[in-house]
Structure 1
Amino acid sequence: MDIQFLGAAREVTGSCFLIRVGRKRILVDCGLIQGSPEDEERNRDSFPFAADRIDAVVLTHAHLDHSGRLPLLVQAGFRGPIYTHRASRDLCRIMLKDAGNLNEREAEAVNRKRRRRRLDPVEPLYTVKEAQRAMRRFRGLDYDEIRRIMPGVHVRLRDAGHILGSAIVELWLEEDGLARKLVFSGDLGHHGSPILRDPSPVEEADLVILESTYGDRLHRSWEATWGEMAEIFREARSEAGNILIPAFAVGRSQELLYTFAKHHRDWGLDDWSIFLDSPMAIETTQVYARHKEVYDPEAVKRSQENGGNPFALPNLQMTRTPRQSMGINRVRSGAIILAGSGMCTGGRIKHHLKHNLWRDETHLVFVGYQAHGTLGRRLVDGAREVELWGEPVKVGARIHTVGGLSAHADSEGLRRWYAGFTRGPALALVHGEETPMEVLGDRIAELRGRQGIFRPGNGERIDLAELPERAGTG
């Protein structure tokens, strides 16, 4: 009985963990590696296991760095069930299809150039049809129900509060009289964030696999964060500029729309034209509106008061078509534009950057994590010139990083969640860069000592039989 770390091991993306229980094989997550072109090329590598030997997948949530290689897994021979929350299943139906469509378009663009050079064509990473084929393997679960998924393996999903349907995964394992309980944090949500409930506490485990994305920082208070957003709107309005917000289509866009609706009057948002310029974000917002069963009490109340839709705004335009999107570029002042991708690696935000980034009156607001090697990270780090479609573009816009809006728990939130376990279970830190992981490890060592805190590298294993038994089988 062991666990092998095959992704998000001393890096942030590509979440993938393989558990062996006797002859059974379970994957927790199967995510895309994101970042630089060199990093993303690794997604084409063969899996370090036989896909047809995997008996089941448990998916923590729909973000592509956790779900994005599932079509490749099915393509490689996986025929088992994929267990996840019902809302995550609905989001994956959107996200994996969109990823397949993007793969096809990227391959088509590359192949046009290759044909002129008489080179063999490249295949898309996977297609829309392959993404849809993977969706047939999904099995929806509710929070808090214990499900036997195979002999000797039980699973329960708990609310992680990160995005709609995001889950903490509890796994009870039994083999030849040995019982172990693993708890995967998935991505833990930011305490007090809009719409969703705070992460559920879990008390017992033998091994906790904990994300560490923001393990070295503390988020600003929500009050200060919203105050900063309001000030950006005031400054941009006085300077007759536009506001560009590269926003992830799943989670961040919905949080922003919800907050804009909540503060519509006191932030003076009726003076703006607000554009949600992302077909995927529009479709995702509709999924969010359907799953009110996972809302926090305030969001439930606001939904009831707002005609059943907590995202409705009188001056919101949802631009689905390319023609509608291009029309936004004629707006020289007074536009708030939410568009993907959240790290500026593709999508409609790049077109809006081309038309606005060089303008001094533009405000560019980053509201999420920017991975190394991405355009967003270069802008956050202070680049004064970037390249868009082979053309250099000067950076005249004011760059804002509103870190308090993160959907991830900060160092204190991660430490506090781990502190809810009894008897200090063993800990494996994942989904983080070296410094955040080290800082978080030091903070948690103050609670339970350093023994039993792991920072596994890619491919490393932990023998679960060698862990002290702490939690039992529940």
Structure 2
Amino acid sequence: MEFPALSHHGGTRSVTGSCHQLHLDPATSLLIDCGLEQGSEAPPGAEFAPIGFDIAGIQALVVTHVHLDHVGRIPALLAAGFRGPILCSEPSAKLLPLVLEDAYKLGISADPVQIDRYLTLLERLIVPLPYEQWHCVVERGGVACSIRLQCAGHLLGSAYVECDVRGGGDEPSSRVVFSGDLGAPGNPLLRPVQPPERADILVLESTYGDRLHADRSDRQQRLEAVIDRALADNGTILIPAFSLGRTQELLYEIEDILHRKALLNESRQAPGDDPVQAIDWSRLPIILDSPLAQRITQAYRELHEYWNHEARKRLSEGRAPLGFAQLVCVDTHAQHQKVVNYLKSTGRPAIVIAGNGMCSGGRIVNYLKAMLGDARHEVVFVGYQAKGTPGAVIQASEGAEGFVQIDLDGRMYDIKVKVMTLGGYSAHADQKGLAAFATAMAAAPAQILLVHGDMKAKRMLRNVLEQMFASKGEVPQMMIPY
């Protein structure tokens, strides 16, 4: 075997479970991500399964970002005896314990003693690294490897990983780049992706390698129009959203809508004007009903130095994009049930953001049970709904005529609410973004491995990349590991 070499323990046959091992020599390696297979791709009991590969010689785990399909197998890794450093960006170091604590409670054990022991070990191993700086990870037996994290634009703290591998002798170093998940342009909070300067081997995600995203430029205007319509009907807007990333984007954009509405209202009430205010936006409650989303949102606020320029500018103007006055946070289950009953009985307009994003569990389900049968209300989807999930069933009823029902926890509910899907909220780069990342380097990588996508997406992305490189007279080796 020639080194550096790669082996894969997930993320090659599916879109989840990313886990890649970079072998520096026969006895020394790094692990890049340790993700859990999720959804229909996951075998039963995946969260309890042993790690499934030999951890001997793994010097460190490098985390690209804290979504569970990239970090969800860390409990199994620790149970197998791994005690090396967990290297990640500084924002990820703050977010990782929050995400893994919640997952541990839901999937493994709610015992406070076990949770405390787990978190104590986890926090002892986490090593935060600044972006854009090289960090030596391995230097032993004639082999050395340094890594550098670069902003990936997918999630606060997300990174792609550059690995500079040096063997013995005078041979030049090899550069291996792991993309992690790359973000789409135009995220309101995050800094954009800057492609790497070089790569000999590029391990590239391909989640949306077969498609182009909808235009993102007018998504806030479309969200505002949906809210206007629901308020005119005295209805509640239910937005199923995952706690990490999507929720914070929504809050940021809703705050901007509220801010502009307030300025517009002030201008209408200037001396000599007759105030016309059919809808009082200033009294509209924005209800965040998710304890995990609240903790993550608080962490996002504390990590504002990692926001992009525009978001930080709003802070400097005295605005609070993720903590505005109309934001109501619901914590306990008793408070949650009171809010559900209040909104159902009063018909007061409100926006509710609650998990989970596919309506397959979490607090959003109680809102759906209470409100699906009332046409005043609206369910707004801002994320992908996997086939077979309740979210997909409700989404499919959009524009449907006639009698539509859904099974929630063994009981049938009529779907009479309005249903809307807002595009432009994907956190992943599309085919164009992935291709731009791979082809922007001064010289083509010698080898590109396409991972983290279904086979159709990988093949289409491979074809696009081959054509783009061929137009420049370059022929990298394109591989689809399986």
TM-score by length of 1: 0.86
What is the one-letter code of the residue matched to 1:18? Q
Residue deviations 1:279-324 (CA, integer Å, cap 9, x gap): 11111111111112211111111011125x3323221101111122
Cα shift at 1:386: 3.1
Give the deviation of 1:372 after TM superposition. Answer: 4.2
1:84 aligns with 2:88: yes
Find the counterpart in structure 2 of residue 336 from structure 1: 351
Counterparts of 1:218 and 1:399, CA distance in 2: 23
Map of 2:450 onto structure 1: 429
Does the CA-based 8 Å contact 1:35-1:373 persist in structure 2?
A: no
Q: Tell me the amino acid that sits aligned with residue 459 of structure 2.
A: E
In the other structure, the counterpart of 2:330 is 319
For 1:290-301, what aligned pairs fall within 5 Å after superposition?
290-301=302-313
Residue aligning to 2:137: 149
> Residues of 1 paired with 2:388 and 2:449: CA distance?
26
Structure 2 residue 282 is the aligned partner of structure 1 residue 270: yes
Q: Which amino acid aligns with 1:300?
A: R
* Equivalent residues in 2 for 1:372-411, closer than 5 Å: 372-382=387-397, 384-411=404-431
Q: Do structure 1's residue 304 and structure 2's residue 316 form an aligned pair?
A: yes
User: Of 98, 122, 128, which aligns to 1:134?
Assistant: 122
Once residues 310 and 138 of structure 1 are traced to their aligned partners in structure 2, the CA distance between those partners, rounded to angstroms, is 29
Deviations 1:97-128 (A, max 9, x none): 111111257x89xxxxxxxxxxxxxxx9x956
2:461 alignment counterpart: 440
Aligned to 2:10: 7
Q: Secondary structure at the match of 1:337?
A: strand
2:55 and 2:80 in contact (8 A); partners too: yes
C-alpha spacing 1:13/1:379, structure 2 compared with 1 (3 Å): farther
Please report how far the alpha carbon of residue 52 of structure 1 lies from its aligned counterpart in structure 2 after TM superposition: 4.6
Deviation at 1:451, TM superposition (A): 5.3
Q: Which residue does the alignment assign to 1:231? A: 225
Contact 2:390–2:408 (CA under 8 A) maintained in structure 1: no
Identify unmatched segments of 5+ residues in structure 2. 262-278, 399-403
Corresponding residue of 1:101: 105
Q: What residue is the counterpart of 1:285 in the other structure? A: 297
Secondary structure of the residue aligned to 1:169 is strand
Match of residue 253 from structure 2: 259
User: Do 2:35 and 2:71's aligned partners in 1 also have CA atoms closer than 8 Å?
Assistant: yes
Partner amino acid for 1:174? R
The answer to whether the 8 Å contact 2:49/2:76 transfers is: no
SS at match of 2:8: strand
Q: Provide the rounded CA distance (Å) in 2 between the counterparts of 1:394 and 1:37.
A: 30
SS of 1:198's equivalent in the other structure is coil
Deviation, 1:266, is: 4.2
Given the alignment of the two structures, is residue 192 of structure 1 paired with residue 195 of structure 2, yes or no? no
User: How big is the shift at 1:345?
Assistant: 2.8
Letter in 2 for 1:289: R
Counterpart position of 2:196: 202
> What is the letter of the counterpart of residue 288 of structure 1?
Y
2:59 equivalent to 1:71: no
In the alignment, the residues of structure 2 paired with residue 40 and residue 160 of structure 1 have an alpha-carbon distance, to the nearest angstrom, of 32
Deviation at 1:265, TM superposition (A): 4.3
**Whole-Å Cα distance in 2 between the matches of residues 385 and 3 of structure 1?**
49
Preserved CA contact (<8 Å) 1:100 1:128 = no
Partner of 2:436: 416
Measured after TM superposition, the shift of residue 397 of structure 1 is: 2.7
Correspondence 1:367 to 2:382: yes
Aligned residue identity for 1:149 = V
Q: Percent identity?
A: 37
Contact persistence 2:51–2:76 (CA under 8 A) = no
Q: Which amino acid aligns with 2:45?
A: E
Higher RCO by CA contacts (8 Å cutoff, separation 6 or greater): 1
CA RMSD of aligned residues (A): 2.4
Name the SS of the counterpart of 2:460 in structure 1.
helix
Distance of 1:310 and 1:72 partners within structure 2? 37
Shift in alpha-carbon separation, 1:56–1:38, aligned structure 2, 3 A: closer
Answer whether contact 1:7 1:14 (CA < 8 A) is retained: yes
